[in-house]
Amino acid sequence: MTDIEKGNLTTDTFPGDEDDNATPATSFLTQEERYTAVGSSGNKIEDAREFIRTTYNQGCPCGHPIATFFHLFFKVGALFVYFWSMFATSFVIPFVICILFISFDFWTVKNITGRLMVGLRWWNEVQEDGSNVWRFESRENLDDVAQMDSYFFWVVLYAQPVLWVLILIVSILLAKPSWFFVNALAIVLGSFNAWGYFKCQKGKNIIKANTKNGGYNLLWHGSWL
């Protein structure tokens, strides 16, 4: 019975290789070994983040490639369906799909991509008396925000409402009132996200209320404007 059949093959060479100068077969690290090699900071959360970056983002200048993809995907999807509707025989289906893309984009940017790509978030809190308080926050540590992520996030964020304003003007000139609602919805939701993150960015270095909430610093709170 051979060593292979016994399960005792422990070297990196193949049976029959007697040459001492032979190159051993490539040895791959397991995920646990790779994580152990990366995790040297002593902080399990930071080690896990570094492990994900080094394992899945190799060769990518983006710190969060999936978030970057979806930061653009729903915007492009809405525009594609909008222009595709010009050649479609049905109005209802493109109309509904376009609204869904715009809504998904608003939710994704507000709750996911802004938090991951630039470390900012804004949200609304209803008080016991029924009043609304808007909160604009920044992550405590922004050192891991990739420059490519930040640049891409801000350019796309501000370009979206501007582009939809231009499309609205074209729709008015072409007398297509049926699409005015879609134009207005895209402009309003895109502007909401742009203004919310603008206030976060504006107050990032001016902490007015040093209140920590889940690893985030409260920049300020109060009215929307």
pLDDT exceeds 80 at position 189:
yes
pLDDT exceeds 80 at position 175:
no
pLDDT exceeds 60 at position 16:
no
Q: What is the DSSP letter of 7?
A: T
pLDDT at 123: 82
Q: Each residue of 45-104: pLDDT tens digit? A: 555 555 555 544 455 566 788 989 999 999 999 999 998 887 877 888 999 999 999 999
* Cα 220 to Cα 67, 133, 144, distances in angstroms: 26, 10, 23
What counts of helices (H) and strands (E) characterise the chain? 8, 3
Domains of the chain, residue spans: 1-56, 64-222
Smallest Cα–Cα separation from 64: which of 146, 177, 130? 146
Cα-atom radius of gyration of the chain, to the nearest Å?
Answer: 26
Smallest Cα–Cα separation from 12: which of 26, 30, 2? 26
pLDDT at 21: 52
Smallest Cα–Cα separation from 134: which of 39, 220, 40, 198? 220
Q: Are 156 and 75 in contact (CB under 8 A)?
A: yes
Q: Are 153 and 117 in contact (CB under 8 A)?
A: yes
Query: How large is the average pLDDT for residues 19-25?
Result: 48
pLDDT band at 42 (very low <50, low <70, confident <90, very high): low
Q: Each residue of 112-153: pLDDT tens digit? A: 999 888 888 888 877 778 777 788 888 777 777 778 888 999
pLDDT exceeds 60 at position 172:
yes
Q: What is the DSSP letter of 112?
A: I
Instruction: Classify each residue of 120-153 as buried b or exposed e, where b means 16 or more C-beta atoms within 10 Å of its C-beta.
Output: bbbeeeeeeeeeeebbbbbbeeeeebbebbbebb
pLDDT band at 30 (very low <50, low <70, confident <90, very high): very low
Backbone φ and ψ for 186, nearest 5 degrees, come out as -65, -40
219: burial class by Cβ within 10 Å (0-12, 13-18, 19+)?
buried
Tokens 């990366």 — which residue?
38
154: its two tokens: 């801000």
